[in-house]
């Protein structure tokens, strides 16, 4: 049986009396691409912060890469990669400097850094741009570099928080090719998105509504369960009942 890389059981986080994440239970398997969906305010970011070792739960269990979120959050940080739309690269450093900076934070040796930087620049086809400031590059390129940097240290799992916001469908598709490649190499991918075509690309998708997981299955399983043709319709059926959000 495939190992679970993420395990949660009754995971709950309150802010005062408000229950942001309400007893969620799920497992993510090694090498799986797991879509974590939900309307605004559903509790995705809160759950993700817990799984990244950044926020302590109020109750329930959770482990990531075999490490417990209560006691081993520092270990978790070493064994994951993280990329978000809000925070990714330093705009005023070059592509090469960014790769080396983040690689250094992730604990790569100088030799590994040199080798990995060269391989990565080649692989991304960025030889001409390697010494340009990241701020001068198109958003789609920044996202690809950012993702590559997040998996530079070969983490067990990479968390992607709306990684492809603001780019066209072709660039998003190219980004997803990189995700598939990483998953194929055994990196588990945990991804939040508001794009339903991306939900279709996931192995399994969970949909949060008002702090709980309202549905969890493969995209085809969900469409069958809700008797609809698209993930859009699945999402709408569930999110329509939500009390939180805008």
Ligand X SMILES: Nc1ncnc2c1ncn2[C@@H]1O[C@H](COP(=O)(O)OP(=O)(O)OP(=O)(O)O)[C@@H](O)[C@H]1O
Q: For binding to ligand X (CB under 6 A), which residues are involved?
A: 15, 18, 20, 38, 40-46, 244
| Distance from chain centroid for Cα 47 | 12
For residues 47 and 124, which CB has a smaller minimum distance to ligand X in the complex? 47
Instruction: Measure the CA–CA gap between 227 and 216, rounded to whole angstroms.
Output: 15
Provide the minimum distance between the beta carbon of 109 and ligand X in the complex, in angstroms, as a whole number: 36
How big is the CA angle at 136 (ends 133 and 141), to the nearest 5 degrees?
95
For residues 15 and 90, which CB has a smaller minimum distance to ligand X in the complex? 15
For residues 153 and 172, which CB has a smaller minimum distance to ligand X in the complex? 172
For residues 15 and 180, which CB has a smaller minimum distance to ligand X in the complex? 15
Provide the minimum distance between the beta carbon of 74 and ligand X in the complex, in angstroms, as a whole number: 21
Q: Which residue is nearest to ligand X (CB)?
A: 45
Q: Please list the residues that pair with 94 across neighbouring strands.
A: 133
Provide the minimum distance between the beta carbon of 9 and ligand X in the complex, in angstroms, as a whole number: 19
Provide the minimum distance between the beta carbon of 20 and ligand X in the complex, in angstroms, as a whole number: 3
Q: Angle, nearest 10°, between helix axes 95-105 and 139-150?
A: 30
Burial class of residue 30, CB neighbours in 10 A (0-12, 13-18, 19+): middle
């Amino acid at each position: 049986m495939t190992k679970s890389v993420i395990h949660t059981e009754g995971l709950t986080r309150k802010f005062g009396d408000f229950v942001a994440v309400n007893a969620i239970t799920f497992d993510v398997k090694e090498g799986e691409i797991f879509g974590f969906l939900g309307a605004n305010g559903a509790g995705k970011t809160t759950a993700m912060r817990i799984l990244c070792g950044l926020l302590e739960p109020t109750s329930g269990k959770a482990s990531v890469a075999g490490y417990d979120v209560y006691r081993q959050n520092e270990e978790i940080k070493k064994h994951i990669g993280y990329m978000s739309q809000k925070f990714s690269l330093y705009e005023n450093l070059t592509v090469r400097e960014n790769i080396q900076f983040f690689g250094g934070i992730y604990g790569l040796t100088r030799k590994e850094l040199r080798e990995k930087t060269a391989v990565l620049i080649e692989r991304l086809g960025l030889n001409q741009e390697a010494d340009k400031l990241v701020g001068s590059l198109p958003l789609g390129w920044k996202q690809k570099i950012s993702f590559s940097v997040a998996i530079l240290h070969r983490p067990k799992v990479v968390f992607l928080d709306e990684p492809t916001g603001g780019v066209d469908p072709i660039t998003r598709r190219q980004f997803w090719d990189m995700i598939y490649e990483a998953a194929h190499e055994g990196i588990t991918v945990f991804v939040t998105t508001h794009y339903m075509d991306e939900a279709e690309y996931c192995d399994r998708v969970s949909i949060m509504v008002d702090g709980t997981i309202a549905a969890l299955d493969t995209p085809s399983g969900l469409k069958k369960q809700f008797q609809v043709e698209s993930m859009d319709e699945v999402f709408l059926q569930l999110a329509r009942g939500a009390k939180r959000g805008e």
